[in-house]
Structure 1
Amino acid sequence: MTQPSRIHLFQGYGVELEYMLVDRTTLQVKPITDDLLKHVLGHYGSDVDKGMVTWSNELVMHVVELKSTKPESDFVALDKEFAKNVTDINTILASWNAMLLPSAAHPFMNPMTETKLWPHENNEVYTIYNKIFDCRGHGWSNLQSTHLNLPFYDDEEFARLHAAIRLVLPLLPALCASSPILDGRLTGLLDTRLKYYKTNQSRIPCITGKVIPEAVFSRRNYFNTIYEKIKTDITPFDPEGELNPIWVNSRGAIPRFDRGSIEIRIMDIQECPSADLAVVSFVIELIKALVAGKFIDHEAQMKWKTEVLAQLLDQTVEKGQQAIIANAEYLALLGMPAKAATAQEILKHLVERMIAQGKLGEWKKPLDVILEDGPLAQRMVKATGAEPTHERVVEVYKQLAQCLAANEMFRP
């Protein structure tokens, strides 16, 4: 996202929401993002500036991204603007009998036959990616996420922010998993999108690493240990050097030193903007507390090993809030004096602590739904049943589309 000037920690945030375009009747994907943007621009283009919110294309033609045009701190206002833009887009899409659909994966899209890549401006990178990885798989063409960009000003702020974010990442699937169904059936995972995210670039393993970023805390070390490795490993596949290692990096949190921000990429998108901004607000408050040393100091945060955090992430990807975290040291760093706890207990503990401190008040209702009924994926599974028919899947996802249109939480 565009960031006109560097800002300091927690002075503003970039939020990006990705939605599917689908047929209103059948829910089949509608690869018409270019026509949507052309309807407003008058020509094929990749961005529509609507003030606080900008519409953009993505890799595939059935996905549109809504993002904050610049860093924002007033999430209540941003929530209203996202909701308004959803309404505006749905109004336009109605002429094609189409609508926006939330959640992190289409439940029955066949990516091998239905994928259509963006063919217009700035599509060179997409073409190279497709040549190397074949972007027709679920991990490429069938996934939608929420991205959160957090600013840093210099190496010192980067180190503090990167250390804190690494510790928060394992909790995120428990908070916002929304991809339990692929190919028309339950996958057995609540966050199936992340399973594919971890493996879709396994041909060049250094691009994604272990999803949890390495314990690297300066610009120089990051370039030397991560970007140089990516550059070396992609060269045989991209001899012309068209892929920038900075663009290719696919860890769960990616530093952009050119604009002074770290982008968190492993959050499944929720059913409505209010849910996403509640999740994002919680994540920001938890990172703030860690950066301020409210739980453990910065030096201790930097010592956490990537492998340990990656194992915790695997647990929440599979089981969401029911994952049992039996790492007493991790619980202690979050202020819990226990040997084991479910991810749900951890999240409740943290949210209650924040609300007691006068934070997150405007997001209490959506957070209560997530903490009481589970992440969206768990609520979706409850609604569809253990062996859902195609008709039942369509019915439930139409309810999700209604939640998005009304900016309301989904409760089965």
Structure 2
Amino acid sequence: MTKKYHLFEVFGIELEYMLVKNDTFKVAPIVDELLTKKAGELTADIDNGAIAWSNELVAHVVELKTNGPANSVDDLSKKFHANVLEINGILKSLNTQLLGTASHPLMNPNTDTQLWQHSYSEVYALYNTIFNCKGYGWSNVQSTHINLPFYDDTEFEKLHAAIRIILPLLPGLCASSPILEGEITGFKDTRLEFYKTNQKEIPELTGLVIPERTFSKLDYHATIFEPIKRAIRPYDKNNILDQHFLNSRGAIARFDRNAIEIRLIDIQECPKADIAICALVIEVLKAIINKDFCTLQAQKSWTKQDLYIILNDAIKHAENSRIENLEYLILFGLKKTQTLGDIWKHLYQHVKSKLHSSHHHSIELILEEGTLATRLLKGTGKDTSEKHITSIYRQLQDCLMTNTLYKP
């Protein structure tokens, strides 16, 4: 049986990275070769001390994650970065290097996608049959996941309520996917724009991205898991797919390990940025649960439809999205129209003293210079030639190697 933890007692962080060829800058579907070189034989999971490595749905993405629950996030930037350097060392002989950000700016998903062909591949194959995983919502989407524990229904209620209301704010801090196939898409968080509809064949799986107002295990099963099970039955004749795996909302309850996983964070250019964002989100959630700004009842009252409207605008405009819904702003102790960027500045000031000082510089750079999407657009300017875009994203590979944030 999985050990149960109380709120914020431990943390789980997952980071997804692309493998990219050094000469052509195309995605390199060789994660199996990477894992084989490290382990001496083909394996889907590698235990590398504090950090574990594993494959993903597509063969050009590797996931790094905390190897079991971590007691603190403050030392994770160094641990993840050490693993990035080790992987890049292995990839050197394969003429390949890791790249951060949520989307490869030049990848053509129809021609460049290769699915993972090894363990667990029957699940991926079934997904591919149902949804065609060559689309953008599947094959060019790298994210950061935060896993937070809850002990029982009382803690689940508080955590789920707080996470639901913070989800629409996340693109204002972490959008990093403004360019696809060499085009500026018009969405700063294009990954989430595709996330909304990549399972449209079975709408019960993603819902409205914002989870329903469910605040107990029983209610969650009835409201979310049961409709998912009913909807997938005609497609999954052999019962291969698991309800936890199928639930694709922006935050998902994992009752199998008593945690909620937040999935709306675009991965950044380096672990220093990712972990700073995770640390800030965690401290803000603590403040919300602590009722620093509003009551639990006020948090629970928000429907998925009303929160989705705010999220939808944030996907397009990130930190420049304007929030005019005063009732929503009151949830965070604000009284007049604000941009998402301003809301994050306000929240950062509120929790800054609780944040480890190693995160301050990263957060302040993001709040002053803009999300990575904004900085990438600034660096790209009007020159969307393949050569120029490649040169910008090669700078991001340098940022990953040095664990520093990108500034155009």
Q: Secondary structure at 2:196's aligned position in 1?
A: helix
Deviation per CA, 1:318-354, whole angstroms, max 9, x where unpaired?
Answer: 001111000111111101121x111111111111121
After superposition, residues 13-412 of structure 1 pair within 5 angstroms as 13-338=11-336, 340-355=337-352, 357-412=353-408
> Does structure 2 retain, via aligned residues, the 8 Å contact 1:26–1:394?
no
User: In structure 1, how many angstroms separate the alpha carbons of the residues matched to 2:222 and 2:305?
Assistant: 20
Please report the TM-score for the alignment, with normalisation by the length of structure 1. 0.97
- Shifted more, 25-34 versus 13-22: the winner is 25-34
Q: Report deviation, 1:358.
A: 4.1
User: Which 5+ residue runs of structure 1 have no aligned equivalent?
Assistant: none
What is the deviation of 1:236? 1.2
The one-letter code sitting in structure 2 at the alignment partner of 1:407 is: N
Any conservation in 2 of the 1:48–1:56 contact (CA below 8 Å)?
Answer: yes
What is the CA distance between 1:387 and its match in structure 2? Answer: 4.3
Deviation of the 1:386 alpha carbon:
3.1
Secondary structure of 1:66's aligned partner: strand
- The CA deviation at 1:360 is 4.3
Q: Kindly provide the CA deviation profile for residues 237-263 of structure 1, in whole angstroms up to 9, marking residues without a partner as x.
A: 112222122210000000001110000
* Residues 239-248 or 165-174, more deviating: 239-248
Secondary structure of 2:204 counterpart: helix
Matched positions, count: 408
Q: Distance in 2 between matches of 1:46 and 1:329?
A: 47
3-state SS, counterpart of residue 317 of structure 1: helix
Q: What letter is aligned with 2:366?
A: I
Distance in 1 of aligned mates of 2:303 and 2:152:
24
Give, in angstroms, the shift of residue 4 of structure 1. Answer: 4.5
Asked if the contact 2:279–2:355 (Cα under 8 Å) also holds between the matched residues in 1, the reply is: no
- TM-score for the superposition, normalised by structure 2: 0.98
Secondary structure of 1:75's partner?
Answer: coil
Using the alignment, how far apart are the partners of 2:370 and 2:356 within structure 1?
18
Q: Is residue 354–residue 360 contact of structure 1 (8 Å, CA) maintained in 2? A: no
Question: Which digits, 9 at most, give the CA deviation of each residue in 1:281-306, with x for residues without a partner?
Answer: 01001111111111111122111111
Sequence identity percentage: 49
- Deviation of the 1:362 alpha carbon: 2.1
Q: Secondary structure at the match of 2:358?
A: helix
Distance apart, 1:67 and its partner CA? 0.3
Q: CA RMSD in A?
A: 1.1
